[in-house]
Amino acid sequence: MSKPRFRADHVGSLLRPEPVAKARAEGADAAILRAAEDATIPDLIKMQEDVGLKVVTDGEARRAFWHFDFMGMLDGMELRTRDEGVKFHGVDLPPIRPTITDTLGFPADHPMLEHFTFVKDHTTVCPKISIPGPSAVHFRTDPSDVLPEKYRDQKVLMADIAATYKAAVEAYYAAGCRYLQMDDIFFAYLADPKQREQRLAMGQDPDQLITDYAWMLNEAIKDRPSDMTIGMHMCRGNFRSTYAATGGYDAAADAIFNGTDVDIYFMEYDTDRAGGLEPLALLPKGDKRIMAGFITTKTPELESMDDIKRQFEAASKFVDIDQLGIAPQCGFSSTEHGNSLTVDDQRRKLELVVNVAQDIWGEA
């Protein structure tokens, strides 16, 4: 059976519809918020279909954060509030601290399974859901917030994270998901000298983490059915159009391309912070595909079609053009706060994604 494949795609999150943003800002109860989400997500889906995308998401409209919501819904994890949040460039995240309180697991009633089926029931094209990858559970949980004694052994902790995600893959497939994306952004973080220093100060070897994170991801997906596509997104942070890390893919390219059975790689390439295109040469020849993030979600200015085509010409010196596609470099609203652009800007960016794909490959 064939796997879903596309030339035009996006990472997943979209600017929150006004009724959803209003309900959240007013602290509406769960029923009112759910009603706003149910009423507006079909419009988000239709917008994606109307611009010509053949794969759609719910825009992550039901989430406050791209990763914390999912993680807090796992067995053995809680989200706790502390004094300060993760630092981005010039701004801090809200002070949420994921905490591992017990044995990790993926519950059969994880709410984001239903989030996926809602999209599946409201689209005529391919439904996709993006979830944080296994590395998020490890990287975003401070060692002091890992409470079970058995998880002092990193091998035990990582094995349980991998098993949790393996169960998630199986559950999504059973729910009808044939295209599951995992946002494993911390492979890119681990190229940043400051991020590497922080890990070393925590007693963690950043190069070993890259190897371990690739192992966790591959353990989770290696036994999936043959008709299930796995995507993987990497970036350097995305909160209110700011970022958290800088550095190329050189340190992680071999691990992600050759150490995992991932099908599709969403790679940030909208600024010099992402480094050069040379690591793309490590992609093995075959069916794997890189969705090049030459279009940014952080600013409203629309990129030039000619400039993007020149970037693909440069990329094709390292990887066959047939193993490339296009997507924005990140989500438009990785958190409920959104990036610094409008709904109209967002639509134009997505239209450009489709137009570039049609121009270069003759298909979306």
Residue at 283 is within a domain: yes
Most confident of 85-99, 195-209, 306-320: 306-320
Span 104-124, average pLDDT: 98
Sign of the C-alpha dihedral, residues 242, 247, 253, 255?
Answer: negative
Smallest CA-to-CA distance from 130 within 286, 211, 204, 238 is with 238
Residue at 106 is within a domain: yes
Global pTM value: 0.94
Q: What's the distance, CA 61 to chain centroid?
A: 14
44 and 72 Cβ atoms separated by less than 8 Å: no
Q: Tell me the pLDDT band of 238, cut-offs 50, 70 and 90.
A: low
Residue at 306 is within a domain: yes
Residue at 10 is within a domain: no
Residue at 303 is within a domain: yes
Q: What's the distance, CA 151 to chain centroid?
A: 26
Domain around 183: 18-361
How many domains are there within the chain?
1
Work out the number of other CB atoms within 10 angstroms of the CB of residue 64.
Answer: 16
* Close Cβ partners of 120 (under 8 Å, ≥ 6 residues apart): 127, 175, 176, 177
Residue at 12 is within a domain: no
Q: Is the predicted pLDDT of residue 67 greater than 90, yes or no? A: yes
Reported residue count of the chain is: 364
Q: Is the predicted pLDDT of residue 237 greater than 90, yes or no? A: no
Exposed e or buried b for every residue in 48-62, given b needs 16+ CB within 10 A?
A: beebbbbbbbbbbbb
Span 35-43, average pLDDT: 98
Looking at residue 235, what is its pLDDT?
A: 83
Q: What is the CATH number of the domain that holds 201?
A: 3.20.20.210
Looking at residue 233, what is its pLDDT?
A: 95
Per-residue pLDDT of 206-231, as tens digits, reads: 999 999 999 999 999 999 999 999 99
Residue at 94 is within a domain: yes
Longest dimension (CA), the chain: 56
Cα separation, 224 vs 234, whole angstroms: 21
Smallest CA-to-CA distance from 166 within 106, 228, 214 is with 106
Looking at residue 241, what is its pLDDT?
A: 66
Residue at 108 is within a domain: yes
